[in-house]
């Protein structure tokens, strides 16, 4: 079961009221969305967007007999197209927009798309299975320079060069097809004294490949100005990020728009999970919530 991260804080900073309209750009399994819909009853509406067709299909099935079925509109699309999605669905007068940039437990445990290095699955990592780019294609066909840059920039991996070289050596012998195989290649490249760290040596490489496959940072850069544009005056934007690259983009966007007097920042410092939440949901430990109000 996917547990929504910082759920109480999301409600606090988005501050939903009865009969208001909200957008969840990454609706996933609907954890945050259902909490918001509870508040915006009876006539408030939620536009839920997800790039993964499986998530949308699952949610459509769930809400068939739900009391929320008339309050929820679902769209299978990339949130980088937010303005167009809202226009197509005639969704206006928007009081709040949420972006939860983490991938769900379902993607790790059930999707079979290679999001985790802890089991052996095909090297895929796509949210949208129509996407032509996969992690397998990147590691088997991109140049040393391209792979090294992806690992260094998207994973902030200090051993990016060594890992890229190890990948090229391995693929000369045989194609790298599975997560387990890639994790072993990474382990060979990392100096032994760094292999006993708390963080698995494969963590940053897998993060970097996932970001590259789904073009996550560019999508985030595209969606933020659209979200601000379609919010009504007084509307709120909340973003939950899970690594420094995402958080930096959000922080800089908020800072710049605040200087232009377009928003008021509600979180001087990012809101992070309590010790109790991290204990109950370890995947929340790196989450950071930033929120702002359109003025």
Which CATH number fits the domain that encloses residue 20? 3.40.50.150
Q: Which of 192, 214, 236 is the last residue of a domain?
A: 214
- Is residue 2 a part of any domain in this protein? no
CA 102 to chain centre: 4
Find the CATH number of the domain harbouring 181. Answer: 1.10.150.170
Residues 100 and 164 in one domain: no
Residues 135 and 223 in one domain: no
pLDDT of residue 1: 47
Q: Which of 194, 214, 234 is the last residue of a domain?
A: 214
Show the low-confidence residues of the chain (pLDDT under 70).
1-2, 104-110, 198
- Is residue 137 a part of any domain in this protein? yes
Residues 247 and 183 in one domain: no
CA angle, 164 then 137 then 121, to 5°:
90
Q: Which of 214, 243, 275 is the last residue of a domain?
A: 214
Residues 191 and 271 in one domain: no
- Is residue 251 a part of any domain in this protein? yes
Residues 13 and 64 in one domain: yes
Burial class for 95, CB neighbours closer than 10 Å (0-12, 13-18, 19+): buried
- Is residue 1 a part of any domain in this protein? no
CA angle, 293 then 253 then 135, to 5°:
120
How many domains does the structure of the chain reveal? 2
pLDDT of residue 69: 87
Summarize pLDDT for 115-174 with one digit per residue, the tens. Answer: 888 889 999 999 998 999 999 999 999 999 999 999 999 999 999 999 999 999 999 999
Residues 221 and 98 in one domain: yes
pLDDT of residue 260: 98
Residues 153 and 202 in one domain: yes
- Is residue 201 a part of any domain in this protein? yes
Residues 96 and 237 in one domain: yes
**Are 135 and 185 in contact, with CB atoms under 8 Å apart?**
no
- Is residue 158 a part of any domain in this protein? yes
Torsion angle, alpha carbons of 291, 100, 27, 219, to 10: 100
- Cis check for the bond before 42: say yes or no (omega within 30 of 0): yes
Residue 164: domain span: 112-214
- Is residue 274 a part of any domain in this protein? yes
CA angle, 202 then 139 then 114, to 5°:
55
Residues 182 and 37 in one domain: no
- Is residue 262 a part of any domain in this protein? yes
pLDDT of residue 106: 58
Residues 97 and 229 in one domain: yes
pLDDT of residue 104: 64
Alpha-carbon distance of 104 to 114, in angstroms, equals 13
pLDDT of residue 65: 79
Alpha-carbon distance of 255 to 58, in angstroms, equals 37
Alpha-carbon distance of 58 to 74, in angstroms, equals 11
**Are 26 and 50 in contact, with CB atoms under 8 Å apart?**
yes
Residues 49 and 85 in one domain: yes
Residues 96 and 242 in one domain: yes
* Sequence-ordered alpha helix ranges (H) in 156-243: 160-173, 179-189, 203-214, 216-230
Global pTM reads 0.92
């Amino acid at each position: 079961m996917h547990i929504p991260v910082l759920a109480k804080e999301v409600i606090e900073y988005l501050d939903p009221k009865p009969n208001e309209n909200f957008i969840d750009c990454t609706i996933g399994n609907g954890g945050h969305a259902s909490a918001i819909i509870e508040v915006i009853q009876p006539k408030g509406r939620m536009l839920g967007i997800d790039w993964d067709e499986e998530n949308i299909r699952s949610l459509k099935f769930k809400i068939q007999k739900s009391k929320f079925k008339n309050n929820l509109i679902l769209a299978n699309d990339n949130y980088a197209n937010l303005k167009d999605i809202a226009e197509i669905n005639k969704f206006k007068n928007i009081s709040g927009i949420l972006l939860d940039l983490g991938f769900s437990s379902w993607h790790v445990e059930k999707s079979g798309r290679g999001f985790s290095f802890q089991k052996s699955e095909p090297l895929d990592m796509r949210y949208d299975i129509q996407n032509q780019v996969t992690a397998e294609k990147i590691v088997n066909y991109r140049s040393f320079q391209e792979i090294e840059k992806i690992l260094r920039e998207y994973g902030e991996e200090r051993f990016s060069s060594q890992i890229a070289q190890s990948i090229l050596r391995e693929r000369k012998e045989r194609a790298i097809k599975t997560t387990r195989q890639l994790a072993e290649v990474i382990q060979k490249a990392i100096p032994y004294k760094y292999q006993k760290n708390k963080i698995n040596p494969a963590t940053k490489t897998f993060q970097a490949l996932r970001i590259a496959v789904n073009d996550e940072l560019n999508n985030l850069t595209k969606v933020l100005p659209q979200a601000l544009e379609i919010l009504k005056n007084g509307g709120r934007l909340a973003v939950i990020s899970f690594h420094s690259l995402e958080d930096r983009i959000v922080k800089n966007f908020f800072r710049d728009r605040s200087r232009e007097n377009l928003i008021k920042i509600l979180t001087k410092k990012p809101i992070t999970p309590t010790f109790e939440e991290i204990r109950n949901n370890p995947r929340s430990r790196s989450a950071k919530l930033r929120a702002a109000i359109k003025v």
